[in-house]
């Protein structure tokens, strides 16, 4: 086959995927080679919605005329993108995102956590979006996935815990199709003594009575407990069969996680503050948890969360990403076997308005989220909802 015919077939293939209209010929030919596309400009866009709310998106322009977009991103990530990653991205090959991640992880002696990895997460996710747009494929397909829907669990932060309201909301969510609900037991703790344990166990009983046995119930203690309190609570509530107890302690306290996991039949979960695969490895080799809750906005991005899934699969542990945001999380979950990634977190109250400047905010129907057919993460800003959009530095955000 001549080069011309090969290129024409390649273009036809992309057109069938619905991608060709957004791609120039040079983009297509570049994407088909081993290298060729370069990042030409990095912008942090401050998007001001009608009504005044402001959010940041990261945009990576390329010389193929196609740009990657990811957001909303956190202020801490914006600081690092602006001050550190921006100039290192110029000229980088977006198809070589793994190589870029590795270079950046070795580019600073402070790369192992916190703001640095939040910034690298934003960059990595925007690179995956750009790769998807260059190739005309959604990210979960690039990652090797085939699931077109993922199951979401209802994350119930902010709802009333007054008994009648608690039970009514739990029944309502069950009727909406959520087979899994997570509730928060973070308002009491060791300083409340035995009465606190009784109250926190009562929440579990009320919910089990409300939803019956065919809904999974999870509980998040938001770091508020110590080992004795956690042991007392788990002994009282094992009879109600919770699916997991989340973050009874801060993630720094590995020994307490190990001890609690040894002493209770309730699976223990943590990980929204895991940074990189090495944090996960420490917990898994110590049999400290049964659910890894790393967040692709914080842990190092899609690239790192996928590696965590591989590690978890070796240990027979689930990865159910934290729901700070959901674009990257749902694509990684859809790319993995359901045994490894059965669920994605959907924070009901936060997600109502979190994507307020986007055309397609992810919303579960009957407890399921649809993966978009659009390339990349499928994020499109909605001009009709936007007052102003402009590139800013992190100081101006
Ligand atoms: Mg949590």
pLDDT tens by residue, 337-371: 999 999 999 999 999 999 999 999 999 999 999 99
Contact 127, 68 (CB under 8 A): yes
Contact 345, 322 (CB under 8 A): yes
In the reported structure, the alpha carbon of residue 205 is separated from the centroid of ligand 1 by a whole-number distance in angstroms of 21
**Neighbour count for residue 316 (Cβ, 10 Å):** 10
**CA 312/CA 339 separation, integer angstroms:** 10
In the reported structure, the alpha carbon of residue 22 is separated from the centroid of ligand 1 by a whole-number distance in angstroms of 39
pLDDT for the residue numbered 266: 98
In the reported structure, the alpha carbon of residue 105 is separated from the centroid of ligand 1 by a whole-number distance in angstroms of 26
CA dihedral 119, 133, 41, 306 (to 10 degrees): 20
* Surface-to-core class of residue 91, CB atoms within 10 Å of its CB (0-12 exposed, 13-18 middle, 19+ buried): exposed
pLDDT confidence of 72, banded at 50, 70, 90?
very high
In the reported structure, the alpha carbon of residue 270 is separated from the centroid of ligand 1 by a whole-number distance in angstroms of 7
User: Helix count (H) and strand count (E) of the chain?
Assistant: 15, 13
Beta strands in 201-257 (DSSP E): 216-220, 244-246
Query: 241-282 pLDDT, tens per residue?
Result: 999 999 999 999 999 999 999 999 999 999 999 999 999 999
208: Cα separation from own chain's centroid: 28
Mean pLDDT of the chain: 92
Contact 121, 332 (CB under 8 A): no
pLDDT for the residue numbered 397: 72
In the predicted structure, residue 315 carries a pLDDT above the cut 80: yes
pLDDT for the residue numbered 23: 47
**CA 113/CA 298 separation, integer angstroms:** 9
Which range has the worst mean pLDDT, 6-10, 31-35, 87-91, 365-369? 6-10
Contact 56, 76 (CB under 8 A): no
Name beta bridge partners: 269.
246, 291
Contacts of 372 (CB under 8 A, 6+ apart): 138, 360, 378
In the reported structure, the alpha carbon of residue 356 is separated from the centroid of ligand 1 by a whole-number distance in angstroms of 23
Beta strands in the chain (DSSP E): 39-49, 54-62, 67-70, 149-155, 180-184, 216-220, 244-246, 268-270, 291-292, 318-319, 344-347, 368-370, 386-391
pTM, full prediction:
0.91
Query: 140-182 pLDDT, tens per residue?
Result: 999 999 999 999 999 999 999 999 999 999 999 999 999 999 9
pLDDT for the residue numbered 192: 97
In the reported structure, the alpha carbon of residue 245 is separated from the centroid of ligand 1 by a whole-number distance in angstroms of 10
Query: 370-396 pLDDT, tens per residue?
Result: 999 999 999 999 999 999 999 999 888
Give the pLDDT mean for 291-307. Answer: 98
Contact 357, 387 (CB under 8 A): no
Contact 129, 69 (CB under 8 A): yes
In the reported structure, the alpha carbon of residue 37 is separated from the centroid of ligand 1 by a whole-number distance in angstroms of 39
In the reported structure, the alpha carbon of residue 161 is separated from the centroid of ligand 1 by a whole-number distance in angstroms of 17
Query: 84-137 pLDDT, tens per residue?
Result: 999 999 999 999 999 999 999 999 999 999 999 999 999 999 999 999 999 999
Contact 300, 323 (CB under 8 A): no
In the predicted structure, residue 14 carries a pLDDT above the cut 70: no
In the reported structure, the alpha carbon of residue 220 is separated from the centroid of ligand 1 by a whole-number distance in angstroms of 6
**CA 327/CA 80 separation, integer angstroms:** 21
Question: Please, what is the end-to-end C-alpha distance for the chain in angstroms?
Answer: 53
In the reported structure, the alpha carbon of residue 122 is separated from the centroid of ligand 1 by a whole-number distance in angstroms of 20
pLDDT for the residue numbered 9: 41
In the reported structure, the alpha carbon of residue 273 is separated from the centroid of ligand 1 by a whole-number distance in angstroms of 9
In the reported structure, the alpha carbon of residue 330 is separated from the centroid of ligand 1 by a whole-number distance in angstroms of 17
Exposure string over 54-79, b if 16+ CB within 10 A, otherwise e: ebbbbbbbbbbbbbbbbbbbbebbbb
pLDDT confidence of 30, banded at 50, 70, 90?
very low
In the predicted structure, residue 13 carries a pLDDT above the cut 60: no
pLDDT confidence of 33, banded at 50, 70, 90?
low
Name beta bridge partners: 311.
none
Contact 292, 318 (CB under 8 A): yes
Please report, for residues 109, 154, 176, 295, the alpha-carbon distance to residue 166 in angstroms, rounded to integers and kept in the order given. 47, 14, 15, 27
**CA 68/CA 95 separation, integer angstroms:** 12
In the reported structure, the alpha carbon of residue 209 is separated from the centroid of ligand 1 by a whole-number distance in angstroms of 24
In the reported structure, the alpha carbon of residue 25 is separated from the centroid of ligand 1 by a whole-number distance in angstroms of 46
The pair of three-digit structure tokens given for residue 198, joined into one six-digit string: 């009784």
Contact 279, 112 (CB under 8 A): no
**CA 246/CA 316 separation, integer angstroms:** 18
Q: Which domains does the chain have, with CATH numbers?
A: 3-136 (3.30.390.10), 142-370 (3.20.20.120)
**CA 295/CA 304 separation, integer angstroms:** 10
Give the pLDDT mean for 215-230. Answer: 98
**Neighbour count for residue 99 (Cβ, 10 Å):** 11
In the reported structure, the alpha carbon of residue 322 is separated from the centroid of ligand 1 by a whole-number distance in angstroms of 7
The pair of three-digit structure tokens given for residue 208, joined into one six-digit string: 């089990």
In the predicted structure, residue 16 carries a pLDDT above the cut 70: no
**CA 155/CA 97 separation, integer angstroms:** 32
In the reported structure, the alpha carbon of residue 321 is separated from the centroid of ligand 1 by a whole-number distance in angstroms of 10
What is the residue whose two structure tokens read 């919770």?
Answer: 242
**CA 32/CA 30 separation, integer angstroms:** 5
pLDDT confidence of 35, banded at 50, 70, 90?
low
pLDDT for the residue numbered 15: 37
In the reported structure, the alpha carbon of residue 223 is separated from the centroid of ligand 1 by a whole-number distance in angstroms of 9
What is the residue whose two structure tokens read 């081993």?
Answer: 34
In the reported structure, the alpha carbon of residue 397 is separated from the centroid of ligand 1 by a whole-number distance in angstroms of 27
Contacts of 205 (CB under 8 A, 6+ apart): 237, 240
């Amino acid at each position: 086959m001549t080069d011309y015919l090969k290129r024409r077939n390649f273009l036809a293939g992309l057109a069938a995927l619905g991608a060709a209209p957004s791609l120039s010929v040079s983009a297509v030919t570049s994407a088909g080679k081993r290298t060729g596309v370069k990042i030409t400009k990095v912008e942090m866009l401050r998007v001001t919605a009608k009504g005044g709310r402001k959010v940041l998106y990261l945009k990576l322009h390329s010389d193929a005329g196609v740009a990657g977009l990811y957001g909303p991103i956190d202020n801490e990530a914006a600081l690092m993108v602006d001050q550190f990653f921006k100039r290192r991205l110029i000229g980088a090959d977006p198809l070589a995102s793994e190589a870029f991640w590795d270079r950046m992880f070795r580019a600073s002696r402070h790369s192992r956590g916190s703001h640095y990895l939040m910034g690298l997460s934003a960059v990595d996710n925007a690179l995956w979006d750009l790769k998807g747009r260059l190739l005309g494929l959604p990210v979960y397909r690039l990652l090797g996935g085939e699931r077109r829907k993922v199951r979401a669990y209802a994350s119930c932060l902010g709802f009333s815990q007054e008994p009648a309201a608690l039970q009514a909301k739990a029944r309502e969510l069950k009727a909406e199709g959520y087979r899994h609900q997570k509730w928060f037991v973070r308002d009491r703790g060791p300083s409340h003594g035995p009465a606190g344990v009784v109250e926190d166990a009562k929440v579990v009983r009320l919910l089990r009575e409300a939803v019956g046995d065919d809904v999974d119930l999870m509980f998040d203690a938001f770091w508020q407990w110590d080992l004795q309190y956690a042991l007392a609570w788990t002994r009282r509530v094992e009879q109600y069969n919770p699916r997991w107890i989340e973050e009874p302690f801060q993630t720094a306290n590995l020994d307490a996680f190990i001890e609690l996991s040894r002493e209770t039949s309730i699976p223990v979960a943590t990980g929204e503050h895991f940074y990189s695969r090495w944090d996960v490895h420490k917990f898994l080799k110590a049999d400290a948890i049964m659910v890894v809750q790393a967040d692709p906005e914080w842990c190092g991005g899609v690239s790192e969360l996928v590696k965590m899934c591989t590690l978890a699969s070796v240990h027979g542990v689930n990865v159910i990403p934290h729901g700070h945001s959901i674009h990257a999380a749902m694509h990684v979950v859809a790319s993995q076997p359901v045994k490894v990634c059965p669920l994605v977190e959907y924070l009901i109250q936060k997600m109502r308005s979190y994507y307020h400047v986007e055309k397609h905010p992810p919303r579960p129907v009957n407890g399921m989220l649809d993966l978009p057919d659009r390339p990349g993460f499928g994020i499109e800003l909605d001009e009709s909802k936007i007052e102003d959009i402009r590139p800013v530095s992190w100081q101006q955000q």
